[in-house]
Amino acid sequence: MTHASLLTKICGLSTPETLIAALDAGADMIGLVQFPPSPRHVDLGKAAELAALARGRASVVVLTVNPDDALIDAILKAVSPDFIQLHGKETVDRVAEVRRRIPVIKALGIATAEDVAAARAYDGAADYLLLDAKPPKDATRPGGLGQAFDWSLLDSFKVGTSVLLSGGLHPTNVAEAISRVRPEGVDVSSGVESAPGVKDKAKIEAFLINARAAAGSMR
Residue among 134, 105, 42 nearest 79 (CA): 42
> Residues near 84 by Cβ (< 8 Å), separated by ≥ 6?
61, 62, 64, 67, 72, 75, 98, 102, 103, 104, 105
Q: Tell me the pLDDT tens digit for each residue of 103-153.
A: 999 999 999 999 999 999 999 999 999 999 987 666 555 544 567 899 999
Q: What is the pLDDT of residue 1?
A: 32
State the pairing for strand pair 198-199/162-165. Answer: unpaired
3-state secondary structure of 133: strand
* Residue 147 and residue 166 in contact, taking contact as beta carbons nearer than 8 Å: no
Q: Which is it for the CA torsion 107, 54, 162, 214, positive or negative?
A: negative
135-141 contact pairs (CB < 8 A, 24+): 135/109, 140/37, 141/35, 141/37, 141/38
Give 3-state DSSP helix, strand, coil % of the chain, rounded to 5: 35, 20, 45
Q: Which residues of 30-69 are buried (b: 16+ CB within 10 A; e: fewer)?
A: bbbbbbeebebbbebebbbebbebbeebbbbbbbbbebee
Mean pLDDT for 167-183 is 95
Residue among 67, 74, 54 nearest 14 (CA): 54
How many whole angstroms separate alpha carbon 154 and alpha carbon 173? 17
Where residue 100 falls among pLDDT bands split at 50, 70, 90?
very high
Per-residue pLDDT for 28 more than 50? yes
3-state secondary structure of 43: coil
Does the domain formed by 7-217 have CATH 3.20.20.70? yes
User: Catalytic residue numbers?
Assistant: 11, 132
Per-residue pLDDT for 3 more than 60? no
Where residue 4 falls among pLDDT bands split at 50, 70, 90?
very low
Q: Tell me the pLDDT tens digit for each residue of 41-81.
A: 999 999 999 999 999 999 999 999 999 999 999 999 999 99
